[in-house]
A and B are shown apart, each in its own frame.
Chain A
Amino acid sequence: MDGWWKKNPFYVEYMVHEATALFVAAYAIVLLVGLVRLGQGLEAWTGWLEAMKSPLSIVFHLALLVAIAYHALTWFKLFPLTMPPIVVNGKRVEPNVVVSTGWTAAIIASLALLGIVWRIAA
């Protein structure tokens, strides 16, 4: 079975979307460090905020953004496979409708989050 995933583009894509987990883990660790710093008080937290401003951090977070966006894209794309069929008025909802509903939900959730953060910040 060695190298099985290199043998077919379908498997390669699978491995790529599985690999987004590394980026999700990295981001969770960044947040965890931030939380610990927050718990340590004003100075520690400000230090963490400053560290987030370094060019390296920005580039890193742009990479995280791309990878986690790809996770979101593929997460919903797999819904027709991973979720039971959804029946509305006795008719099975088309797979592509299921997928685009998922994407739409993610966009709405993201905008809502941005809005809430904005309100708290203002």
Chain B
Amino acid sequence: MKTRKRSNAPVFWGLFGAGGMLAALFGPMLVFITGVAVPLGLILPAGAMDYPKMLAFSQNFIGKGFIFAVISLFMWHAAHRIFHSLHEIGIHAGFGCKLLTYGVALVGTVVSAVVLLGIGF
């Protein structure tokens, strides 16, 4: 019988699933708040995302964790889906595709971690 290699997919699939879940639960509302409501001054109190507030939020443990989870997991979720879609439309450029998808997610994760640590507690 043919011997088969164990797949490392559980790692990426797990990140994909976690990001997909987070995006499904909070994604639309986050976009609405940061991209529509706050810029247009709708619903939320004025200055909801002003510097002192956002700084405090990003210095808070929970806030930090939330920002990190949203940015990095959204990226891993998207990377996994886009990687598969590229394969499905016939682009199988192995390493190049991985760099473009998982590579970008990794960079995004590292950058957001560095910035969040730099902001302090």
Chain A residues packing against B (C-beta within 8 Å) = 1-2, 4-5, 15, 18-19, 21-22, 24-25, 27-32, 34-36, 38-39, 42, 45-46, 49, 52-53, 57-58, 60-62, 64-65, 68-69, 71-72, 75-76, 102, 105-106, 109-111, 113-114, 117-118, 120-122
Contact = CB atoms under 8 A, between A and B. Distances in A.
A121 B35 contact: no
Contacts of B70: 28, 31
Interface of B is mostly: helix
Contacts of A24: 19, 23, 27, 74, 77-78
A62 to B, nearest CB: 7
B52 to A, nearest CB: 9
Nearest to A106: B25
A42 B34 CA distance: 17
A71 B27 contact: yes
A38 B58 CA distance: 9
B119 to A, nearest CB: 6
Interface of A is mostly: helix
Contact of A35 (B25, B29, B112): B112
Contact of A21 (B31, B78, B111): B78
B18 interface: no
B54 A28 contact: no
A34 to B, nearest CB: 8
Contacts of B55: 38
Contacts of B47: 121
A120 B53 contact: yes
A30 B27 CA distance: 13
B20 A75 contact: yes
B34 A114 contact: no
